């Protein structure tokens, strides 16, 4: 075997697909009997719920998932969202369109809109325009070869707006444009940043934060049938290229033997010169015979982050818009946008009858929670989430409700204690130093949202592709 990939999260799938495309003999191990991790779709009592991720990016012209779909003929059905998301708070219902200029025009028409809105949205767009192409051409991120350095040189002008944001927070940029205290925009930015870079405008690194705001504005899609269908399609892509994907086959132990790693897993022992682990640093540590200092320092970043609490719902669907749609509900806009006070609610499309049955829709509703959280903390958050749903989205008529806690996410993802979402991208140099993937030991790499660039299905897939490319360049196989 040339390489073993542990885990079929999007980081692992991206890495395995890139290795298989390069002709490597790859074994992918997955603990569960379905792929996707935080972005998988699971079945319960005949319903098909998205575990976490519900919105995908990366299907625009030339972007990574689109490229893979076209090259490998992957069977996946991305449906453009009519509007990206509707933000609701007391006295506010703001539809965020999946188009930046429409968003700016809509904000500018609101009562009390400050003149700087246009400047802020233009600046945000310039930063995003400079950075998002890196997701279409992942070899640029970081430059892994002379050819990619040359490509960077050709784009140097587009990086100037990024330079202006270095070392600043999103709030700092908003303040400079005179829009930091304009409530509808500020709430939209804070709520969007919480779910993309896991922190608010006051703390978010401006470069990451402004770029992540494009998550809603850059052709977001709904994957028909659930996000797990995208993971299934990538698995089929790996198999079509000759790779092996083995489900219900947890990796239990890894150790070094000469120039190889030996992975003991549920169905056997496999040796390979390269192992790519789609795990949290602490989970990889627990598989190794001795701790590695780099893993403990990476884990320190992870535990600055969050767990998730969720409700998986079945609702009546006939009176709702037929397409899949998303709501960001805020109960109290003056309180932190976490712990049930802010809930992202994703509703399946009416024609996905295989997910819920005729006339019904499935819903994934999630919120952030600090860890560790006691059972009573979780119960309090779940109760507050229901209140937020009842008050802000009374049109959702719930017929079944399944609660989930960080322990559920630990089971869904193999992530110890249920740490999800990746480290908050707060202002600081560590965001940039992490941009250069390094092995944690010879021939052993980490991928996933605890590593750069992390934090979405697209970002983790790009990260997996970069790490696999680096390993191929290091000549680790054959």
Ligand X SMILES: Cc1cc2nc3c(=O)[nH]c(=O)nc-3n(C[C@H](O)[C@H](O)[C@H](O)COP(=O)(O)OP(=O)(O)OC[C@H]3O[C@@H](n4cnc5c(N)ncnc54)[C@H](O)[C@@H]3O)c2cc1C
Alpha helices, H only, 146-277: 146-154, 160-165, 170-176, 183-196, 206-212, 228-240
Write the CB contacts of 151 (distance below 8 Å, at least 6 apart in sequence): 137, 139, 140, 143
CA distance 87 to 314: 21
CA distance 416 to 404: 16
Contact between 123 and ligand X by CB under 6 A: the answer reads no
Query: Among candidates 124, 14, 146, which has minimal Cα distance to 67?
Result: 14
Which part of the chain contacts ligand X (CB under 6 A), choosing from 28-36, 353-361, 387-395, 396-404? 28-36
Contact between 117 and ligand X by CB under 6 A: the answer reads no
**What would the x/- binding string for ligand X be over residues 243 to 282, using CB under 6 A?**
-------xx--------------------------xx---
Q: Choose between 35 and 116: whose C-beta lies nearer to ligand X.
A: 35
Cα-Cα-Cα-Cα dihedral of 466, 470, 475, 477, to 10°?
Answer: -40
Contact between 10 and ligand X by CB under 6 A: the answer reads yes
CA distance 379 to 339: 11
Q: Give the residue, chosen from 414, 423, 424, 453, that forms a contact with ligand X under the rule CB under 6 A.
A: 414
Which part of the chain contacts ligand X (CB under 6 A), choosing from 74-82, 139-147, 385-393, 413-421? 413-421
Q: Give the residue, chosen from 32, 324, 343, 471, that forms a contact with ligand X under the rule CB under 6 A.
A: 32
- Least CB distance from residue 4 to ligand X, whole Å? 10
Contact between 226 and ligand X by CB under 6 A: the answer reads no
Contact between 125 and ligand X by CB under 6 A: the answer reads no
Contact between 200 and ligand X by CB under 6 A: the answer reads no
- Least CB distance from residue 145 to ligand X, whole Å? 24
Query: Among candidates 11, 4, 1, 3, which has minimal Cα distance to 281?
Result: 11
CA distance 87 to 72: 37
**What would the x/- binding string for ligand X be over residues 300 to 329, using CB under 6 A?**
--------x---------------------
Contact between 421 and ligand X by CB under 6 A: the answer reads yes
Give me the sign of the Cα torsion angle 88, 94, 97, 99. negative
Which part of the chain contacts ligand X (CB under 6 A), choosing from 8-16, 155-163, 186-194, 371-379? 8-16
55 phi-psi bin (left φ>0, alpha ψ -120 to 50, beta other): beta
**What would the x/- binding string for ligand X be over residues 48 to 77, using CB under 6 A?**
----xxxxx---------------------
- Least CB distance from residue 31 to ligand X, whole Å? 4
Contact between 6 and ligand X by CB under 6 A: the answer reads yes
Contact between 419 and ligand X by CB under 6 A: the answer reads no
Q: Choose between 222 and 392: whose C-beta lies nearer to ligand X.
A: 222
Contact between 37 and ligand X by CB under 6 A: the answer reads yes
95 φ, ψ (degrees, to nearest 5): -85, 125
Strand partners, 78: 223
Angstrom CA distances, 471 to 3, 15, 65, 431, 453, stand at: 10, 10, 21, 22, 17
- Least CB distance from residue 443 to ligand X, whole Å? 18
Q: Give the residue, chosen from 420, 444, 467, 468, that forms a contact with ligand X under the rule CB under 6 A.
A: 420
Strand-strand pairing, 3-6 and 47-50: unpaired
CA distance 124 to 215: 12
Q: Give the residue, chosen from 4, 5, 8, 120, that forms a contact with ligand X under the rule CB under 6 A.
A: 8
Q: What is the DSSP string of 311-338?
A: EEEEEE-TTS-SS-EEEEEES-TTS-S-
Q: Give the residue, chosen from 218, 415, 425, 466, that forms a contact with ligand X under the rule CB under 6 A.
A: 415
Interacting residues toward ligand X by CB under 6 A: 6-12, 29-32, 37-39, 52-56, 250-251, 278-279, 283, 308, 366, 413-415, 420-421, 448-449, 455-458, 460
């Amino acid at each position: 075997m040339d390489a073993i990939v542990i885990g079929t999260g999007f980081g692992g799938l991206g890495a395995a697909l890139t290795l298989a495309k390069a002709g490597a003999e790859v074994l992918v191990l997955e603990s569960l009997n379905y792929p996707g991790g935080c972005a998988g779709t699971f079945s319960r009592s005949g319903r098909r719920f998205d575990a976490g991720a519900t919105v995908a990016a990366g299907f625009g012209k030339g972007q990574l998932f689109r490229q893979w779909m076209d090259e490998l003929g992957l069977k996946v059905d991305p449906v453009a969202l009519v509007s990206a998301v509707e933000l609701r708070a007391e006295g506010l219902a703001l539809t965020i369109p999946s188009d930046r200029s429409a968003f700016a025009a809509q904000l500018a028409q609101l009562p009390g809109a400050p003149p700087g809105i246009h400047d802020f949205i233009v600046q945000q767009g310039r930063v995003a325009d400079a950075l998002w192409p890196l997701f279409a051409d992942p070899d640029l991120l970081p430059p892994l070869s002379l050819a990619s350095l040359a490509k960077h040189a050709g784009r140097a002008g587009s990086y100037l707006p990024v330079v202006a944001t270095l070392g600043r927070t999103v709030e700092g940029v908003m303040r400079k444009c005179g829009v930091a205290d304009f409530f509808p925009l500020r709430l939209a930015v804070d709520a969007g940043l919480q779910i993309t870079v896991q922190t608010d405008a006051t703390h978010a690194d401006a470069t990451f934060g402004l770029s992540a705001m494009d998550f809603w504005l850059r052709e977001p899609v709904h994957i028909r049938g659930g996000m797990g269908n995208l993971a299934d399609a990538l698995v089929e892509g790996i198999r079509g290229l000759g790779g092996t994907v083995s489900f219900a086959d947890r990796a239990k132990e890894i150790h070094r033997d000469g120039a190889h790693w030996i992975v003991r897993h549920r169905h056997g022992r496999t040796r390979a010169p390269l192992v790519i682990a789609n795990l949290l640093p602490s989970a990889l540590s627990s598989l190794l015979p001795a701790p590695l200092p780099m893993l403990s320092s990476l884990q320190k970043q992870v535990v600055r982050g969050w767990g998730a609490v969720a409700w998986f719902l079945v609702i009546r669907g006939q009176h709702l818009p037929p397409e899949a749609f998303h709501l960001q509900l805020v109960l109290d806009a003056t309180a932190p946008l976490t712990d049930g006070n802010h809930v992202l609610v994703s509703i399946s499309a009416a024609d996905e009858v295989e997910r819920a049955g005729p006339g019904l829709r499935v819903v994934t509703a999630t919120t952030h929670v600090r860890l560790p959280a006691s059972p009573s903390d979780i119960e309090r958050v779940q109760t507050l989430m229901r209140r937020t749903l009842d008050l802000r989205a009374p049109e959702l008529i719930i017929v079944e409700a399944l609660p989930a806690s960080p322990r559920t996410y630990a089971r869904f993802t193999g992530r110890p204690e249920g740490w999800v979402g990746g480290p908050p991208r707060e202002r600081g140099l560590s965001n940039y130093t992490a941009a250069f993937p390094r092995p944690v030991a010879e021939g052993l790499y980490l991928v996933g949202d605890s590593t750069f660039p992390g934090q979405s299905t697209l970002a983790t897939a790009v990260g997996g592709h970069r790490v696999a490319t680096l390993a191929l360049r290091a000549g680790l196989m054959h």
